[in-house]
Amino acid sequence: MKKITKATYLKWYEDMLFWRKFEDKLAQVYIQQKVRGFLHLYNGQEAILAGALHVMDLEKDKMITAYRNHVQPIGMGVDPKRVMAELYGKATGTSQGLGGSMHIFSKEHRFYGGHGIVGGQIPLGAGLAFADKYFKRNAVTLTFLGDGAARQGSLHETLNMAVKWNLPVVFCVENNGYAMGTSVARTSKSLDIWRLGNAYEMPCGPVDAMNPIKVAEALDEAIKRARKGDGPTFLELKTYRYRGHSMSDAQKYRTKEEVAEYQNIDPITQVLDVIKEKKYASEDEIKAINKRVKDKVSECEKFAEDSDWPEKNVMYDVVYEQKDYPFLAHKPE
Ligand SMILES: Cc1ncc(C[n+]2csc(CCOP(=O)(O)OP(=O)(O)O)c2C)c(N)n1
Ligand SMILES: [Mg+2]
């Protein structure tokens, strides 16, 4: 694995803080009704993305996830200003403002969404890996899914074929404790989600996903296995989300104490503690990073605010159109 150095820690701190503050900004502008529809935030789960990016080959590896999907494309190289603009529904967004929160996508950066159907991305992730194997691209797909999605039938069909075909894919269950308001304990007798891999003779295991090093180590092993042609891995990344499922969640299903317990092992604080302990940065240097992050978030907000709405006609250009459909003159001349 690429060595974890002072530079890694500083990058992790700045990246994770930016992702967190980006999401905080979205929560704020959502309340102001500048961003509409559903909004699912990633706060608390940042160590997963930080660890993954450390071991991926960003020239060729792919990523696909569900609807909690704003910061992953940023990690993969998409301009955060365009992600923010997409959430605002502006023409400068990643999908011209037509996708919105749950559907960030960038083929150029090999980030394949952004899926609102729980578990819908699981077979698609295996499909991406199938294509990479077929075209001998030596690339690996990280397929992320939630603990709730792990209870979907599509998971089982996909695991079965992925292992049978030796596909270069890593299934990463982000177990954040809940599927909307339903705790993992209420969804199955088996609480160790990672054990599902055993049913398919797929290498599998649990990972402490509040710590980016643990995530990087587990994913490095899995990615190497996939790249060598030895097939998929199934990992349960144990994490936690601090905010509600979406913005409309009264969170009656958990206590403030439970949230605080996880905030005590917060991934950003863990990384910052090491930076301070090893004197990787002075107080002033840390302040400078914090300021840079704040400015970058403001820049994204300003870009989104200042951008234009899409032209109305754009919506007719991006949907299937039957030219000779007889009943409705639906495209304005
Ligand atoms: C097929 C389907 N069923 C139900 C829903 C409604 N729904 C949206 S998110 C969600 C919970 C999924 O939880 P999990 O997979 O743990 O992901 P998390 O939100 O925790 O990231 C549900 C049931 C849906 N979008 N799609
Ligand atoms: Mg969940």
For the segment 160-183, the average pLDDT, to the nearest whole number, is: 98
Domain count, the chain: 1
Instruction: Report the mean per-residue pLDDT for the chain.
Output: 96
- Give the 3-state DSSP-derived string for 130-165, with helices as H, strands as E and coil as C: HHHHHCCCCCCEEEEEECCHHHCHHHHHHHHHHHHC
Banded pLDDT at 321 (limits 50, 70, 90): confident
Nearest ligand 1 atom to alpha carbon 180: 11
For the segment 159-181, the average pLDDT, to the nearest whole number, is: 98
Ligand 1, atom 6, residue with closest C-alpha: 118
Find the residues whose C-beta lies inside 6 A of ligand 1. Answer: 66, 68, 116-118, 146-149, 176, 178-180, 245
Banded pLDDT at 264 (limits 50, 70, 90): very high
Task: Name the strands in the sheet holding 169-175, side by side, starting at the edge strand that comes first in the sequence.
Answer: 62-64, 141-146, 169-175, 233-238, 204-208
Helix (H) or strand (E) segment spanning residue 316:
helix 314-317
Q: Is the pLDDT of residue 282 over 90?
A: yes
For the segment 49-65, the average pLDDT, to the nearest whole number, is: 98
The best mutation among 48, 49, 118, 155 to test binding of ligand 1, ranked by most ligand atoms within 8 Å of the C-beta, falls on 118
Residue range 94-153, pLDDT digits in tens: 999 999 999 999 999 999 999 999 999 999 999 999 999 999 999 999 999 999 999 999
Q: How many Å apart are CA 226 and CA 228, to the nearest integer?
A: 5
The answer to the question of residue 221 being in a domain is: yes
The answer to the question of residue 328 being in a domain is: no
User: 172 has which bridge partners?
Assistant: 144, 235
Nearest ligand 1 atom to alpha carbon 117: 26
Residue 207 sits in which domain range?
Answer: 6-307
pLDDT at 263: 96
The answer to the question of residue 1 being in a domain is: no
Q: Is the pLDDT of residue 320 over 90?
A: no
* Secondary structure (3-state) at 53: helix
All residues at 6 or more sequence positions from 219 whose CB lies less than 8 Å from its CB, including other chains: 51, 52, 55, 56, 142, 170, 172, 235
Cβ 113 vs Cβ 103: under 8 Å: yes
Ligand nearest 176 Cα, by number? 2
Ligand 1, atom 21, residue with closest C-alpha: 146
Strands (E), the chain: 62-64, 141-146, 169-175, 178-179, 182-183, 204-208, 233-238
User: 149 alpha carbon to ligand 1 midpoint, in Å?
Assistant: 6
| Residue 197's CATH number | 3.40.50.970
Nearest ligand 1 atom to alpha carbon 241: 20
Ligand nearest 178 Cα, by number? 2
Ligand nearest 118 Cα, by number? 1
Banded pLDDT at 38 (limits 50, 70, 90): very high
pLDDT at 330: 59
The best mutation among 154, 180, 184 to test binding of ligand 1, ranked by most ligand atoms within 8 Å of the C-beta, falls on 180
The answer to the question of residue 32 being in a domain is: yes
Residue range 265-278, pLDDT digits in tens: 999 999 999 999 99
The answer to the question of residue 331 being in a domain is: no
The answer to the question of residue 317 being in a domain is: no
Ligand 1, atom 19, residue with closest C-alpha: 179
Tell me the pTM.
0.96
Rounded to 5 degrees, what are φ and ψ at 182?
-100, 120
Banded pLDDT at 64 (limits 50, 70, 90): very high
User: 201 alpha carbon to ligand 2 midpoint, in Å?
Assistant: 24
User: 296 alpha carbon to ligand 1 midpoint, in Å?
Assistant: 31
User: 148 alpha carbon to ligand 1 midpoint, in Å?
Assistant: 6
Angstrom distances, CA of residue 140 to CA of 121, 166, 178? 15, 12, 28
For the segment 287-316, the average pLDDT, to the nearest whole number, is: 95
Q: Which residue has the higher pLDDT, 325 or 284?
A: 284
pLDDT at 331: 63
pLDDT at 3: 97
Q: Is the pLDDT of residue 285 over 70?
A: yes
pLDDT at 188: 93
Ligand 1, atom 8, residue with closest C-alpha: 118
Nearest ligand 1 atom to alpha carbon 119: 1
pLDDT at 333: 58
Nearest ligand 1 atom to alpha carbon 118: 26
Banded pLDDT at 318 (limits 50, 70, 90): confident
For the segment 298-302, the average pLDDT, to the nearest whole number, is: 98
The answer to the question of residue 173 being in a domain is: yes
User: 82 alpha carbon to ligand 2 midpoint, in Å?
Assistant: 27
Pairing of strands 169-175, 233-238: parallel
**Rounded to an integer, what is the distance from CA 229 to the centroid of its chain?**
25
The answer to the question of residue 85 being in a domain is: yes
Ligand nearest 102 Cα, by number? 1
Nearest ligand 1 atom to alpha carbon 245: 19
Banded pLDDT at 45 (limits 50, 70, 90): very high
Percent over 70 (pLDDT), the chain: 98
Residue range 301-312, pLDDT digits in tens: 999 999 999 998
Q: Is the pLDDT of residue 215 over 90?
A: yes
Ligand 1, atom 13, residue with closest C-alpha: 179
